[in-house]
């Protein structure tokens, strides 16, 4: 997956007290003696309750644990005091690795931030992940909309992306929940899921194509072709319906004009008449009696 490390803009406007700058300064200068550090029991560390990420790479955690066994924790874990414990602002991977490495205490820096700042930072930190899934990115943007009231243009400015990118990613949230779940589980890619957005109104067809994607691992191009066929068939049906309505109106006009039953079907017009006298009457109305 491509690197998605975003360069954020205007974080001071988001946090007010620049939580991001404080975290970056602390983690970027672990030997800075001006930053007060202390040690706390690992058992007293609690995860950020607003942290949307719940799945971590076990291999990376184990590799970090081996490094901690040799070098210790170089970057302190950043926390806030909460009741009798400490909630992690940044450094949950380090705390997990430290536990595997057998540490009892870990170095921390304590910041004073409120719940809203805690939640906002967790969302932004989550978007910065290199291995972020597209659906996770969409959910994070939605949270910025819901929590901060940001518009798509404002989110785009914050993450250094185009508004169209933000809009396209967020459109994934319009897909049925079972498709979103498949995206979250990496069972389907954005390339496979994106064409399904064009048939949201055709729920049965969408589900059928989705099930075929899962069963046959269709390529994005295969999905596009299936969706095009479904769209064309639906449009053809609608066109036929409109055509039928038009022909029905023409039939009624012809019947009123000729005073007899008229049907238009399969490329032909059928006019009903009763005997030669009625036929002559119809021909006269049509202006054909002098032609015979």
What's the full length of the chain, in residues?
A: 292
Give one word for 32, left, alpha or beta, with left for phi > 0 and alpha for psi -120 to 50.
beta
Q: pTM, whole model, 2 decimals?
A: 0.56
How many angstroms separate the CA atoms of 143 and 148, rounded?
Answer: 8
pLDDT tens, position by position, 30-55: 666 667 789 999 999 998 887 766 66
Arithmetic mean of pLDDT, 202-231: 91
End-to-end CA distance of the chain: 79
92 annotated active-site = yes
Question: How does pLDDT run across 2-34, given as a tens digit for each residue?
Answer: 444 334 433 344 334 456 667 777 776 766 666
Active-site choice (60, 66, 87, 92)? 92
Alpha-helical (H) ranges within the chain are 11-15, 19-28, 58-71, 92-100, 115-127, 134-148, 152-159, 163-170, 177-184, 190-193, 203-216, 220-258, 275-286
Q: Cβ(231)–Cβ(199) under 8 Å?
A: yes
Each as own residue / partner, the long-range contacts of residues 98-104 (CB below 8 Å, 24 or more positions apart, any chain) are 98/42, 98/65, 98/68, 98/73, 99/42, 100/61, 100/62, 100/65, 101/65, 101/66, 101/68, 101/69, 102/69, 103/42, 103/68, 103/73, 104/41, 104/42
141 pLDDT above the threshold of 50: yes
> Domain spanning 11-131 has what CATH number?
3.90.1530.10
Return the pLDDT at 49.
81
| Closest CA relative to residue 179, chosen from 214, 226, 127 | 214
* Cα Rg of the chain (Å, integer): 33
Residue of 122, 146, 113, 123 lying closest to 48 (CA atoms):
122
Buried/exposed code over 18-35 (b: 16+ C-beta within 10 A; e: otherwise): ebbebbeebbeeeeeeee
Cα–Cα–Cα angle for 30, 36, 41, nearest 5°? Answer: 85
Q: Are 86 and 96 in contact (CB under 8 A)?
A: no
Residues 6+ apart with CB under 8 A from 27: 75, 78, 90
Query: Rounded distance, CA 66 to CA 60, Å?
Result: 10
Is the pLDDT assigned to residue 83 strictly greater than 70?
yes
Residue for token pair 């015979």:
292
Does position 215 have pLDDT exceeding 80, yes or no?
yes
CA proximity to 1, closest of 190, 221, 223: 190
User: SS3 of 201, please?
Assistant: coil
Residue, of 54 and 160, whose pLDDT is higher:
160
Residues 259, 252: Cα–Cα separation, whole Å = 10
276-290 confidence digits (pLDDT tens): 877 888 788 877 766
User: 206 by DSSP, 3-state: which?
Assistant: helix
């Amino acid at each position: 997956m491509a690197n998605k490390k975003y360069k954020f803009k205007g974080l001071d406007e988001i946090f007010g007290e620049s939580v991001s700058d404080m975290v970056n300064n602390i983690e970027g200068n672990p030997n800075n003696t001006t930053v007060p550090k202390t040690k706390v029991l690992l058992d007293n560390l609690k995860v950020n309750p607003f942290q949307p990420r719940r799945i971590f790479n076990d291999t990376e955690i184990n590799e970090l644990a081996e490094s901690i066994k040799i070098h210790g924790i170089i970057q302190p874990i950043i926390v806030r005091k909460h009741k009798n414990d400490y909630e992690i602002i940044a450094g949950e991977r380090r705390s997990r690795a430290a536990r595997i490495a057998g540490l009892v205490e870990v170095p921390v820096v304590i910041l004073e931030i409120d719940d809203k700042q805690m939640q906002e930072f967790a969302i932004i930190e989550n978007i910065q992940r290199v291995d972020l899934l597209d659906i996770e990115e969409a959910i994070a943007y939605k949270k910025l909309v819901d929590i901060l009231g940001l518009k798509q243009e404002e989110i785009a400015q914050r993450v250094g992306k185009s508004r169209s990118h933000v809009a396209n990613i967020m459109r994934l949230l319009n897909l049925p929940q079972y498709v979103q779940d498949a995206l979250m589980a990496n069972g389907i890619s954005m390339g496979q899921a994106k064409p399904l957005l064009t048939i949201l109104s055709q729920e049965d067809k969408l589900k059928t194509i989705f099930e075929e994607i899962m069963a046959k691992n269709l390529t994005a191009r295969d999905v596009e072709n299936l969706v095009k066929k479904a769209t064309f068939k639906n449009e053809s049906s609608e066109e036929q319906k409109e055509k039928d309505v038009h022909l029905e109106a023409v039939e009624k006009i012809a019947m009123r004009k000729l005073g007899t039953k008229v049907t238009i079907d399969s490329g032909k017009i059928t006019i009903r008449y009763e005997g030669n006298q009625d036929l002559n009457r119809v021909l006269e109305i049509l202006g054909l009696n002098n032609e015979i």
